[in-house]
Amino acid sequence: MFYKNINKLIDVLVIFAKNNQQLEKFRINKLLYFVDKFHLQKYGRDVMGDVYKKLPKGPIADNTTNLLKAFENNLKYNFINKDIEELIKYFVLKKIDNNYELILKKSSGLSFLSSSEKEIIEDVLQKFGKKSTQELIDITHKHKAWKLNKLSKIINKEMFLEGLTPEDTEYILGLMEVDKQARSFSKELVKC
């Protein structure tokens, strides 16, 4: 398994931890969903580049969830890969009740996040940081991205634009297309 934004994820998780967030899978997923949704709505691109799926407890960042599961399995089976090695540098995984929680052991340099990404993370923590995980789940269940999808199916990120005016939606869709083309161009350059 290779997680393409491991350093960015670590920076985000460090910010969450420093803001007294319980770092267990469900809470991480809900906060990441809001970060990606609001960054996409404001700047035309998400932060993590993850794929979201609809699960019973709301949208989940699929690659992040798989990485966290692998981290949990590392405790059970002593399985390590490069991504888990990076997580281990900054976090300890502790079993609390029936859940695993990441506990911050050292800070990162936060050098992988842009100023707009940090801004949105702070906004999300301000708006949702004091809510329980169940409250976050309940909020996401009201969103079009969750309501209009089938279980275990990938959520089209255009559904993250719910609540924007038609003009803003059109503008953000244009930015999303430019971002998609830029990423495609970058991949082609790497091949050369």
Q: How do residues 109-168 score in pLDDT, each as one tens digit?
A: 778 999 999 999 999 999 999 999 999 999 999 999 999 999 999 999 999 999 999 999
Q: What angle do CA 5, 76, 27 make, to 5 degrees?
A: 50
Alpha helices in 80-191, H assignment, sequence order: 82-90, 115-128, 133-140, 144-147, 166-191
Q: How confident is the model at residue 169 (pLDDT cuts 50, 70, 90)?
A: very high
Residue 77's pLDDT band (boundaries 50, 70, 90)?
low
Predicted confidence (pLDDT) at residue 55 exceeds the cutoff of 90 = yes
Q: Position 139: which residue type?
A: I
User: What one-letter code names the amino acid at 45?
Assistant: R
In single-letter form, the type of residue at position 25 comes to K
Whether the predicted pLDDT of 2 surpasses 60: no
Q: 131: exposed, middle or buried (C-beta count within 10 Å: 0-12, 13-18, 19+)?
A: middle
CB 141 within 8 A of CB 147: yes
> What band does 181 get if pLDDT is binned at 50, 70 and 90?
confident
